[in-house]
Structure 1
Amino acid sequence: MTEPAIRAGYDAVAALYADMFRDILDDLPVDRALIAAFAELVRGSGAPVADLGCGPGHVTAHLASLGLPAFGVDLSPEMIALARKDHPDLRFAEGTMTALDLPDAELGGILAWYSVIHLDPGDLPAVFAEFHRVLAPGGHVLIAFQTCDGDAPLAFDHKVVRAYRWPPGRLSALLRDAGLTEVARLIREPAEHDRFPAANLLLRKPAA
Structure 2
Amino acid sequence: MTEPSSHLDTTADAYDSFAVVYAEFARNYLDPLPLDRAILAAFAELVRDTGPVAELGCGPGQTTAHLRDLGVDVFGVDLSPKMIDIARETYPDLRFEVGSMDALDLADDELRGILAWYSVIHAPPREMPAYFAEFRRVLAPGGHLLLGFFESGGDPVTPFDHRVTTAYRWPIDELAKLAADAGFLEIGRMLREPLEGERFRRGHLLMR
In the other structure, the counterpart of 1:180 is 184
Tell me if the contact between 1:151 and 1:170 (Cα under 8 Å) persists in the aligned partners: no
Cα distance in 2, alignment partners of residues 149 and 196 from structure 1: 8
Residue 27 of structure 1 deviates from its aligned partner by 1.0
Describe how 1:160-199 pairs up with structure 2 within 5 A: 160-199=164-203
User: Which range is displaced more, 187-196 or 47-56?
Assistant: 187-196
Q: Of 120, 141, 150, which residue of structure 2 is paired with 1:146?
A: 150
In the other structure, the counterpart of 1:5 is 10
Cα distance in 2, alignment partners of residues 177 and 80 from structure 1: 32
Tell me if the contact between 2:109 and 2:139 (Cα under 8 Å) persists in the aligned partners: yes
User: Which range is displaced more, 189-198 or 88-97?
Assistant: 189-198
Q: Secondary structure at the match of 2:122?
A: coil
Q: Of 53, 58, 66, which residue of structure 2 is paired with 1:54?
A: 58
Tell me if the contact between 1:84 and 1:90 (Cα under 8 Å) persists in the aligned partners: yes
Q: Of 29, 33, 40, which residue of structure 1 is paired with 2:34?
A: 29
> Is 1:123 aligned to 2:154, yes or no?
no
Tell me if the contact between 2:49 and 2:72 (Cα under 8 Å) persists in the aligned partners: no
Residue 194 of structure 1 deviates from its aligned partner by 1.5
Q: Which runs of 5+ in 2 are unaligned?
A: 1-5
Output the aligned Cα RMSD. 1.0
In the other structure, the counterpart of 1:77 is 81
1:37-78 superposed Cα distances (whole Å, 9 cap, x missing partner): 000011141x11100000000000000001111000000000
Percent identity over paired residues: 57
Q: Aligned residues, how many?
A: 203
Displacement over 4 Å in runs of 4+: none
Cα distance in 2, alignment partners of residues 158 and 28 from structure 1: 20
Cα distance in 1, alignment partners of residues 155 and 21 from structure 2: 34
Q: Which runs of 5+ in 1 are unaligned?
A: none
Q: Secondary structure at the match of 1:104?
A: coil
Structure 1 counterpart of 2:160, one-letter code: F
Structure 2 counterpart of 1:6, one-letter code: T
TM-score by length of 1: 0.95
> Is 1:93 aligned to 2:97, yes or no?
yes
